Amino acid sequence: MRLSDKKKPALVLSGGGVKAAAFHIGVCLALQEKGFKFAGGSPVKVQNEYPDDKMTFKTYVGSSAGSVISTFLASGYDVDAIIRAFTQGSGLPSVTRTGKKSNVKDNHLKPITYRNIFGLNLKAGHPSRILRSVFRKTPVISGGLEVLLKRGFKVNGLFTTNSLEKYIRESACNDNKFSSLGVELYIIATQLNHSRKVIFGNFDQTTKDERIKYAGYAKISEAVAASAALPPFFAPYGIHNHKGREVFFFDGEIRDTLSTHVAADHGSDLVIASYSIHPYHFNNEIGSLSDYGIPIIFNQALYQVVQQKIDTHIRHQREVRSMIKAVDGYLKQTNIEPEHREKLLEILNERTQNKPEVDYIYIHPSPHDYEMFFADHFSLNPKILAKIVQTGFRSAMRTLRKHNV
Report the C-alpha gap between 74 and 205 in whole angstroms: 22
3-class SS of residue 224: helix
Handedness of CA 69, 75, 80, 85 (dihedral sign): negative
Residues in the chain where the model's pLDDT stays below 70: 1, 89-106, 123-154, 404-405
User: pLDDT of 342-381, one tens digit each?
Assistant: 999 999 999 999 999 999 999 999 999 999 999 999 988 8
pLDDT at 40: 96
Cα distances (angstroms) measured from residue 251 to each of 136, 184, 236, 290, 319: 29, 21, 8, 29, 29
pLDDT at 123: 67
Q: Backbone phi, then psi, for 38, in 5-degree steps?
A: -115, 105
Cα distances (angstroms) measured from residue 371 to each of 275, 281, 283, 368: 16, 12, 12, 9
User: pLDDT of 57-116, one tens digit each?
Assistant: 999 999 999 999 999 999 999 999 999 998 873 444 544 444 444 444 457 899 998 889
Instruction: Decide the pairing of beta strands 184-191 and 207-208.
Output: unpaired
3-class SS of residue 262: helix
pLDDT at 89: 37
Report the C-alpha gap between 201 and 101 in whole angstroms: 31
Report the C-alpha gap between 287 and 265 in whole angstroms: 43
3-class SS of residue 123: helix
The single-letter DSSP state of residue 30 is H
Report the C-alpha gap between 238 and 384 in whole angstroms: 33
Q: Cβ(203)–Cβ(78) under 8 Å?
A: no
Read off the pTM: 0.88
Report the C-alpha gap between 120 and 238 in whole angstroms: 16
What is the gyration radius of the CA atoms in the chain, in angstroms?
Answer: 22
Closest CA to 70 of 190, 196, 200, 161: 200
